[in-house]
Structures are given as structure tokens and as C-alpha cells.
Amino acid sequence: MGGPGGMGMGGGNPDQGSGMNQQGMMGQYGYRGIDRDGDGLVSQEEVREHQRLLERMQADWEQADRNGDGQVDVGEFAAFEQTYRNRQEE
């Protein structure tokens, strides 16, 4: 059941489940994107790493915005992030 963290059924978050609004979905997606090790917690190092990714995206905007429409969609973000992570491993 839902506890203080709001996980599970009855967690007190009306946006959970099939009726979740777009803002709630983006919040969960963003959180999971920062929580790189998937432990359900965000560490300071994970925040620093995410910040570095966003700073790199800003610096290399043309590479991130592959179709040149001035916005980065989910697919473009995922591709940019993968390229960034591959470079970090080299």
C-alpha cells in the first residue's frame, strides 16, 4: 500500500494510475531519468551528472535538436543522452 513516499495504491497522489495527467507523467519520467541507478532515490551525484548532461545539451544544441525545429523531443533527448553517456565511458 502507499506509504509516506506515495508509492503503490492509495499513496495519496490523485495523479497516479491510469488517470495520471501529463505533468505527473513528466515528473515521473524526469525523476527516473535522474535516478540513474534505479534505486528510487536521487543522490547528489546523480543530480550533478544530470546537470552536466543538460549543460552539454545547451552547449551542443544543434546536435541535440536533430530535426532543427528548436525543440528537443523525447527521442532526440534519448539519442543525445546515449551519445553523451558513451563519450563519458571512453
pLDDT at 55 over 50: yes
Q: Mapped to the 3 state alphabet, what secondary structure does the chain carry? A: CCCCCCCCCCCCCCCCHHHCCHHHHHHHHHHHHHCCCCCCCCCHHHHHHHHHHHHHHHHCHHHHCCCCCCCCCHHHHHHHHHHHHHHHHC
* Model pLDDT for residues 34-44, shown as the tens digit of each residue: 888 999 999 99
* Model pLDDT for residues 7-53, shown as the tens digit of each residue: 443 444 444 444 456 556 556 667 888 888 999 999 999 999 999 99
pTM of the model: 0.63
